[in-house]
Chains A and B, each alone.
Chain A
Amino acid sequence: MGQILFAFSTIIVGVFGCVAYFYFSNLLLDRALPAKGPNAGLNINRANAIRPWLFLGPAIVILSLYLVYPVINSIWLSFHDASAANFVGFDNYVWLVNDSKFQESMLNNLLWLIVVPGASTLLGLVAAQLTDSIRWGNIAKSLIFMPMAVSFIGASVIWKFIYDYRGEGNAEIGLLNSIVTSFGGSPEAWITLGFWNNFFLMVVLIWIQTGFAMVILSAALRGIPEETIEAAILDGASPLQVFLKIKVPQIWGTIAVVWTTITITVLKVFDIVLAMTNGQWGSQVLANLMFDWMFRGADSGRASTVALVIMVLVTPIMVWNIRNARKEG
């Protein structure tokens, strides 16, 4: 009982503290600069200048502390050695460029960046459109969404039962090998196949992210005004044409958002790789390389350098996507 009370009161304090800030700060502003009386015009102008910052204040404070500060810290660390005590100039960057694991990670990451966001968005879009047009769509949606609710560690166990390899002569407990052998093929240790294992890992992330894409895109599809679609149907457009020519362009902005979000997830995801291969058999990716140097190698300089590369790598993709969204939207 005490525990429940504690949990409950902590939750209340946390949530209401936040609500109270917005409520009272606005109230205070309204009282201090009332939109009435002799100085009404001046007060309204002043209040309008201040209010955005009341709205933005908490976000700016938290973002600077929790994200900007670590980034600056990392830039500083990337010019220092493992103990963060001695300045080493560009040594870490030079090391990085020449490191074979880093080169491998870069190539793999590019593969991931090309395949995963595209595949997830496309599959999500198809799933959204198809499930929206059938009666049991909501059930189908929930089932496709379900992988989102599984933790990464859970996901890696789930896929272990797919990719597992037992060697010839043993009963396979991995589904994939069981299918392969039933068609007369010979079993493979899938996640140890150089290069191809990247795709087996990607499948896991696509499996997870499709649900995300589907939920957001389905919301966008439903937001398209009925009239436009009806008009197109009356003009004799086929369902496929309606989908490709009318619906997709209308939600282009949302597609870009989904694509961008998944791109970022791809760059930051390391749990799947960590749990399934830890970057061995040629499947290393940047985020996991960074984790390795941070905690196994205990070298904050190198880890920070890798982190900065991740950030730089994703920037053009972001800029391109946002521009695109602006143009089309």
Chain B
Amino acid sequence: MIKLIPHAIMASLLVSGSALGNDLKFTPGDDARFSWDSYNQLKTKDLSGETISIFGPWLGPDKDLIESVIDYFEKATGATVNYSGSDSFETQIVIDAEAGATPNISVFPQPGLAANLASKGHLAALDSKTADWLRENYAAGQSWVDLGTFKGKDGKEALYGFFYKVDVKSLVWYSPENFEDAGYEVPQTMEELFALSDQIVADGGTPWCIGIGSGGATGWPATDWVEDLMLRTQTPEDYDRWVTNTIKFDDPKVLEAIDLFGKFALNTKYTVGDKVSSVDFRDSPKGLFTSPPQCYLHRQASFIPAYFPKGTEVGYDADFFYFPAFADKKLGKPVLGAGTMFAITNDSKGARAFMEFLQTPIAHEIWMAQKGFLTPHKGVNTEVFTDPTVAKMNQILLNADTFRFDASDLMPGAIGAGAFWTGMVEYLDGTSAEDVAKDIQRIWDSIQ
């Protein structure tokens, strides 16, 4: 019972906080784990009368979460910030930018899209000091600077994007209790993962639930697989060359990764159902939780628990482990991830101030203390993670020898959100990796 008391206090604090008409999620100064200094410093800026519009892909619960962060900025500076989200963000930001009706700040889930807009002169470069700040304060800072640096309309490279909120993709989800019932162990290497898969088949089960259906975006879950396997079979440098097409898409190195994915997805003994390309990715994890279990393993990014059956508790009913690397490849422990990038699409004093706000630890901690937020910011207090699962994910992020961004998000839209998806669908429907890759490369050639 004693253990419960802090929660009860927390809960009552939250309740009283909102009851007093204070719309901040955590009352400033109350909980010593938060970096309130950075919040108090914000108060020195006066932006009353300033309106900042932010447009991004977050909706529903995510929208509430970003707004709970924004509240602190508004409270401290007096500015008004309007966040709006859209499911078709990618389409709409292109239209808005072309038409010159952009919001002050846009939140890009795909750096490739931002690079495109930057090259057409729709983004405003960030302060030169920001790059230095990132190198100093973000783990693997230089890589975050590189990811946010694009060529502008004048052809000169500059830092345009600031990463805030990171997702880890190299995760395999499973049910610990099903593992216990069957006597399976969490594999530490890719070799062990294959051995485990074979073991499950030998026991009469099916190891993997794989689904790559996603309506109009069908195919993207397969691109994540290929990227993860690319990082586990090739050097990070080769991965980067693949992203920039210095290594062609039909290079043997890429084909190796695609065919390795085929070893999982095209092996009918390994997967539930005989047509992976038609299984919706939102439905496929449900097989972990049926009775008897349809499958034991599911590789997907950190957001997937949203699609687990109602009442599933991560940490108990479901858990995850790091999608392991080959022991004999000596490539360390690579991690595939993605993240959202803030960029100024309509310059103003308020927009600049908000971008600076994102550098403060408090801007990260507020979201961290709620749920589903990972950050490479070294200055935040990781004790504010209330959710042990998220803390564990952040650990995977910190243990990584290599961190690479989702390649399809970095490739040009026609590839990363087009040909790559379609190609993967064709591959799973029986076309050879070589033919698929040649097709993708041909389209890439045509847009250069």
The residues of A with any CB-CB pair to B shorter than 8 Å are 82-83, 95, 99-100, 156, 165-168, 170, 189, 191-192, 274-281, 292-300
Q: Which of B217, B412, B429, B447 contacts A281 (CB 8 A)?
A: B429
Given contacts A276-B215, A278-B215, contact A298 B272 (CB under 8 A): no
**Interchain CB contact under 8 A, B274 and A292:** no
- Expressed in whole angstroms, the Cα–Cα distance for A105 and B272 within the complex equals 32
Within 8 A of A (CB), among B94-124: 94-95, 98, 113, 116, 119-120
Q: 19 other contacts beyond A281-B425, A297-B447, with CB at 8 A cut-off?
A: A95-B446, A99-B446, A165-B278, A167-B272, A189-B278, A192-B429, A277-B216, A277-B218, A280-B218, A280-B219, A292-B414, A294-B94, A295-B94, A295-B95, A296-B414, A296-B417, A296-B418, A297-B413, A297-B418
Closest residue of chain B to A297, judged by CB? B414
Closest residue of chain B to A173, judged by CB? B283
Closest residue of chain B to A168, judged by CB? B274
**Interchain CB contact under 8 A, A280 and B414:** no
Contacts of A281 in B (CB 8 A): 277, 425, 429
4 closest A-B pairs by beta carbon, nearest first, are: A167-B273, A189-B278, A297-B414, A278-B216
B41 at the interface (CB under 8 A from A): no
Q: Whole-angstrom distance from the CB of A152 to the nearest CB of chain B?
A: 12
**Interchain CB contact under 8 A, A167 and B279:** yes
Given contacts A168-B274, A292-B418, contact A298 B216 (CB under 8 A): no
SS class of chain A's interface: helix, strand, loop or mixed? loop
Pick from B272, B277, B447 the residue with the most CB of A within 10 Å.
B447
Contacts of B347 in A (CB 8 A): none
Contacts of A165 in B (CB 8 A): 275, 278
Contacts of B98 in A (CB 8 A): 300
Interface residue tally for chain B (C-beta within 8 Å): 34
* Chain B 414-428 interface 0/1 with A at a Cβ cutoff of 8 Å (1 = within): 100110011001000
Contacts of B128 in A (CB 8 A): none
B91 at the interface (CB under 8 A from A): yes
* A-B pairs with beta carbons under 8 Å apart, 9 shown: A100-B439, A167-B273, A167-B275, A170-B294, A191-B278, A278-B217, A281-B277, A297-B418, A297-B447
- Expressed in whole angstroms, the Cα–Cα distance for A99 and B272 within the complex equals 35
Q: Whole-angstrom distance from the CB of A253 to the nearest CB of chain B?
A: 39
**Interchain CB contact under 8 A, A192 and B275:** yes
Contacts of B278 in A (CB 8 A): 165, 189, 191-192
* Chain B 384-409 interface 0/1 with A at a Cβ cutoff of 8 Å (1 = within): 00000000000000000000000000
Closest residue of chain A to B275, judged by CB? A189
B90 at the interface (CB under 8 A from A): yes
**Interchain CB contact under 8 A, A296 and B90:** yes
Closest residue of chain A to B153, judged by CB? A83
**Interchain CB contact under 8 A, A298 and B446:** no
**Interchain CB contact under 8 A, B413 and A83:** no
- Expressed in whole angstroms, the Cα–Cα distance for A218 and B219 within the complex equals 44
Closest residue of chain B to A294, judged by CB? B94
**Interchain CB contact under 8 A, A280 and B273:** no
**Interchain CB contact under 8 A, B422 and A83:** no
Given contacts A295-B94, A297-B413, contact A275 B216 (CB under 8 A): yes
**Interchain CB contact under 8 A, B447 and A295:** no
- Expressed in whole angstroms, the Cα–Cα distance for A296 and B94 within the complex equals 9
Contacts of A83 in B (CB 8 A): 119-120
Contacts of A299 in B (CB 8 A): 414, 447
- Expressed in whole angstroms, the Cα–Cα distance for A165 and B274 within the complex equals 11
- Expressed in whole angstroms, the Cα–Cα distance for A276 and B439 within the complex equals 23
- Expressed in whole angstroms, the Cα–Cα distance for A213 and B273 within the complex equals 41
Closest residue of chain A to B417, judged by CB? A296
Q: Which of B277, B413, B422 contacts A298 (CB 8 A)?
A: B413
- Expressed in whole angstroms, the Cα–Cα distance for A277 and B280 within the complex equals 12
- Expressed in whole angstroms, the Cα–Cα distance for A167 and B278 within the complex equals 9
Q: Whole-angstrom distance from the CB of B205 to the nearest CB of chain A?
A: 13
Q: Whole-angstrom distance from the CB of B89 to the nearest CB of chain A?
A: 11
Q: Whole-angstrom distance from the CB of B245 to the nearest CB of chain A?
A: 15
Q: Whole-angstrom distance from the CB of A89 to the nearest CB of chain B?
A: 16
Q: Whole-angstrom distance from the CB of B142 to the nearest CB of chain A?
A: 28
Closest residue of chain A to B113, judged by CB? A298
**Interchain CB contact under 8 A, B91 and A295:** yes
- Expressed in whole angstroms, the Cα–Cα distance for A83 and B277 within the complex equals 34
**Interchain CB contact under 8 A, B447 and A82:** yes
Contacts of B279 in A (CB 8 A): 167
Contacts of B275 in A (CB 8 A): 165, 167, 189, 192
- Expressed in whole angstroms, the Cα–Cα distance for A282 and B175 within the complex equals 37
Q: Whole-angstrom distance from the CB of B174 to the nearest CB of chain A?
A: 20
Given contacts A167-B275, A191-B278, contact A278 B218 (CB under 8 A): yes
Within 8 A of A (CB), among B58-114: 90-91, 94-95, 98, 113
Within 8 A of A (CB), among B210-229: 215-219
Contacts of B113 in A (CB 8 A): 298
- Expressed in whole angstroms, the Cα–Cα distance for A277 and B446 within the complex equals 24
**Interchain CB contact under 8 A, A296 and B218:** no
Q: Whole-angstrom distance from the CB of B211 to the nearest CB of chain A?
A: 10
- Expressed in whole angstroms, the Cα–Cα distance for A192 and B219 within the complex equals 13
Contacts of A166 in B (CB 8 A): 273
Contacts of B425 in A (CB 8 A): 280-281
Contacts of B446 in A (CB 8 A): 95, 99
Contacts of B120 in A (CB 8 A): 83
Contacts of A156 in B (CB 8 A): 215
- Expressed in whole angstroms, the Cα–Cα distance for A82 and B98 within the complex equals 12
- Expressed in whole angstroms, the Cα–Cα distance for A281 and B116 within the complex equals 28
Q: Whole-angstrom distance from the CB of B202 to the nearest CB of chain A?
A: 19
Pick from B98, B216, B414 the residue with the most CB of A within 10 Å.
B216
Q: Whole-angstrom distance from the CB of A275 to the nearest CB of chain B?
A: 6
